[in-house]
Structure 1
C-alpha cells in the first residue's frame, strides 16, 4: 500500500531546514560559551594562584595615605595588638596582663601557707595577678599534681585579699595558649613574652641582703618545663631576665629591718615584665603584717567535723612526731605519755584519744618522706600505747574515705599530704592537747605551734570546750 501525503504534509524545502538548524546550533554554542566563561572565572577566583585575593585587607582612608605606606603590615600589627588586648581584658580585666607566679615555695604546708600569704601581699603591692600553684605532699608548688583548691578555699582566700586577682595554673596555661594562637594566626612573632625569672632565698650566712643579675637557668626546677614552649624560657629570642635576691636572715627577723626589706623587694620587682617567676625559700614573713591562715577546703573541714562527732566531742589530741625522737628513749617516752593520759582522762573526764603521727598508718612506710629509718623502738612504743588505750587515728575513724577509694590519691595519702591538714584541724578541736618533750618528739615545730596558736585564740574568745593550749608529757625519772 502506498502512503499518500495531503497538501498540508508536503516536505519543507532543504534550504529552510539548513537555515533553521544553523541558527539553533549558534544559539546553543553561544549559551555554552556564556556558561563556560562563568565557571572558568569562578574556578580562577578559587584557585591557589589567586589565594592572596581572599586575604582580608583593612584600608586606611585614601586621604591619609602617603605614597610609601605599607597598608597590610600596619593593619596586621594593629589587629594583633587589639586581639592581644582583648585576650588580656578577658583574663585580667586590663589591656596588659601582669602575673606573679611563685612556682616553688620551699617549705612544708604549715610554713608554706604562711609564705604564700607573704607573696600574695607582694602581688598586691605590685598590682599583679597571683598564680595559684599546685599542691600535694604537704607542699605548695607547681611540681605537685593537684590544683590549689585541693587544699584551700579560694573563695575565702579572695576575701582575705580583695585587691588581688587569683588565677589557677590552668587559667594561666589557657592564657599562654590563647596568646600563642593569636600570634600564630596573625603571623606575628614580634611580641615574645617578657619574663623575669628570679630566685628569692634566705641565706643564714649572708652578711647583707643583695639583689643582682644571675646566669640563665641557674636555679630552675625541671617541672617548670611543662609551660614550655609557651613561655619560651630556653628560646634565645625570648625576653627573659634572670636575677637573684639573697636575703640576710636578720633582715626578716627584726620588725624594723623587715619593713625596710619589704620596701626594697617591692621596689626591685616593680617592673614592666609580663610575668615574674619566683623560686622562693624565705623561712620568715616578708612583710610586717602577718595575714590569717589560708582557709582550708570545705571537704577537709567537713572530714574534721565528722571525726570530732565520732569522738563524741570529748577527746585528747596528741601530736607525736617520732622522726625527731631518740629511739633508745622511746620505751621511757611511751610510759611518760601513758601516765599523762591516765591523769588527764581522769581529771578532765575525757574518754577518747586521737593520735596525729608520722608513724606508718596505711602502709609500712612512714607518713613523712624524710622519716626513713623506723626501728624496733618505734614499733614497740606504738604497740605499747595501743595495748594500753584505744587509740584513734584518721585511718581508724574512716577519714578521707572518698579519696582512699581512688588510686590517684594513694601517694598523697601514704605520705605527708592532705591528712596532715586533717590531723591539724582535729587536734585544734580537741578538748586537751599534748605533745612530746625533747628526746621523745620534735619540740620546735611550726606544725605544733600552729595548733597551739589557734587553741590560744579560741580560749581568749571564751571557747569553753578547750581545757588547755598545749602540754608536754614528761619522761619518768
Structure 2
C-alpha cells in the first residue's frame, strides 16, 4: 500500500518567529481586556442558559439563544454555543454529503463513515435521503428512511445531527461571528475551517494528495450558502484533498488501511466535508444494516398479511440482462415457480423488479428497455397472478401527498419496501447471470434470510435459489 501525504508548510526564520510572537502577545492582551470587561455578565449567561448534552442529544430543532445580540461579547459566546450543541468548546463535524451508490450500498457506506466519525470524535451529520440515495441533494430528512434511535444505539459514542441541526449551528455561529467582529473591528471569530475531500475507489495504489480548488464540487452544497460558502474566504477557509483507495486494500488489508485513514483525517478543521465513492466498507468491523423507519417496516408486514403470510418472493433485476435471452429466462422462471408452488404448497407470488411498474424504472441506471423486457414481464403476468407493491396498494399514505410523487415514480422508498417483503417471503428466488443482474440488493436479502434461518426462523424455507433459463 502506498499513501502519499503532501505538505505545504514553510520553514520560518528566528526573526519571523520573534515578530509573530510579539504580534500574538499583543492580540492576546487585547482579547483578555475585552473578555475581562464582560466576565461577570457571561458567567450569569452561562448558568442561565446551561443545557445538558443528554437534553439535546436526540433533539432535531433548537431555539436560538442569541436573540439579544448585546449578550454576544467574547469567544465565550461561541464556546457556549458549541457546548450546548456538541458537548465541548469546539464542534467538529464529519459531513459525508454524497455517497455514490443506491440505498443498499449507501447504507453500508454511511455506517463506514459513522465509524470514522467515532474514531475521529466528530459529530456525524445525518445526510438527507431520497430516490434510493443518501446525499444532500435529496430533500427528505435521514429518518424518512431510517430509525435514528436504533442507529444511535449501534453507535452510542457518536453524536448524530440532522442537516437542519447543522444549519442551525452555522446560523448561530455566523451571528456570533458578525456581532463580535463588527463590535471590535477585528477577526475575533475566524472563518469556518473546512477540509473538503473526496474518497474514491481506484484500481492502482492507495494515495492521498492536495487537490485543485473546488474539485467535484456538488451543486447542492450551495444550499448552505451564505452560512457556508466555500468560495468566500471571509466565510470559509477551505483546503482540498483527494484520496484514491485501491480496491484490494479494502478487501485484504482493510485493518491496516482503516488505521491510515483515521491518521490522515485526524485534523483540526471544524468541518470534514466528504464526497465518498468507495466500493467496500472502510473498516474491518461490519456493523449491522441501519434499521429502517417503523412506517416502512409496518408496510412490509401489511403486504405480507395481504399475501396470507405465505408467498414466493422474486427479485428480478432486468438491468444488465441479455435481452435476447429473456424469452428463455421467463420460461425458466415459470418452470421454477410451478415446481416450488407444487412442492411447498405456496399459492402467492410477490415480484420485486426494476422493470417500471409506474412511469419510471425503480433503478435510475436502467434506461434501455426493449420489446424483450416488455414481452418477458407480459408472459409472466399472463401465466400467474403477480403481486407487486403497486398492486397491493403499498405506501398509499405517501401517494396522497404530491411532495412524494417523484420519490414514488422512480427509485425510492419502495425499493426498501420490496427488500423487506422479499426478506419475509417463505421462499425466495432470483435470476441467474444473463437473465438478471447479480446485485448487492439480492445479496442483502439473502444475507438477512441466512441470519434469520440461523436464528431458527422456521417460516423461511430457503436462503435463495436461482432459476435456470
For residue 428 of structure 1, the aligned residue among 423, 426, 439 is: 423
Q: Which residue of 2 aligns with 1:309?
A: 305
Alignment of 1:15-414 (within 5 A): 71=33, 75=37, 79-188=73-182, 189-191=187-189, 192-204=191-203, 206=204, 208-237=205-234, 238-254=236-252, 257-363=253-359, 365-414=360-409
CA displacement at 1:74 relative to structure 2: 6.9
Secondary structure of the structure 1 residue equivalent to 2:181? coil
Conserved 8 A contact 2:300-2:417: yes
Secondary structure of the structure 2 residue equivalent to 1:322? coil
Query: TM-score under structure 1 normalisation?
Result: 0.82
Q: Which residue of 1 aligns with 2:46?
A: none
Q: 1:103 to 1:69 in 2, by over 3 A?
A: closer
| CA distance in 2 between partners of 1:464 and 1:299 (Å) | 25
Conserved 8 A contact 1:334-1:381: yes
Q: Which residue of 2 aligns with 1:438?
A: 433
Q: 1:175 to 1:342 in 2, by over 3 A?
A: same
Q: 1:84 to 1:383 in 2, by over 3 A?
A: same
Q: Deviations over 1:398-430 (max 9, x none)?
A: 100011111111111111110000000000000
| CA distance in 1 between partners of 2:412 and 2:313 (Å) | 19
CA displacement at 1:431 relative to structure 2: 0.3
| CA distance in 1 between partners of 2:87 and 2:151 (Å) | 19
Query: TM-score under structure 2 normalisation?
Result: 0.83
Q: Which residue of 2 aligns with 1:15?
A: none
Question: How many aligned positions are there?
Answer: 403
| CA distance in 1 between partners of 2:369 and 2:37 (Å) | 69
Q: Deviations over 1:243-286 (max 9, x none)?
A: 111111111110xx211111111011111111100111111111
| CA distance in 2 between partners of 1:286 and 1:329 (Å) | 38
Secondary structure of the structure 1 residue equivalent to 2:208? strand
Q: Which residue of 1 aligns with 2:14?
A: none
CA displacement at 1:73 relative to structure 2: 8.2
Conserved 8 A contact 2:222-2:229: no
Q: 1:253 to 1:68 in 2, by over 3 A?
A: closer
Q: Deviations over 1:359-417 (max 9, x none)?
A: 11122x32222111221111111111111111000001010001111111111111111
Conserved 8 A contact 2:34-2:74: no
| CA distance in 2 between partners of 1:273 and 1:71 (Å) | 27
Q: Deviations over 1:134-164 (max 9, x none)?
A: 0111110111111100100000000000000
Name stretches of at least 5 consecutive residues in structure 2 with no aligned partner. Answer: 1-28, 40-71
Name stretches of at least 5 consecutive residues in structure 1 with no aligned partner. Answer: 1-66
Q: Which residue of 2 aligns with 1:457?
A: 451
| CA distance in 2 between partners of 1:351 and 1:310 (Å) | 13
Larger radius of gyration: 1
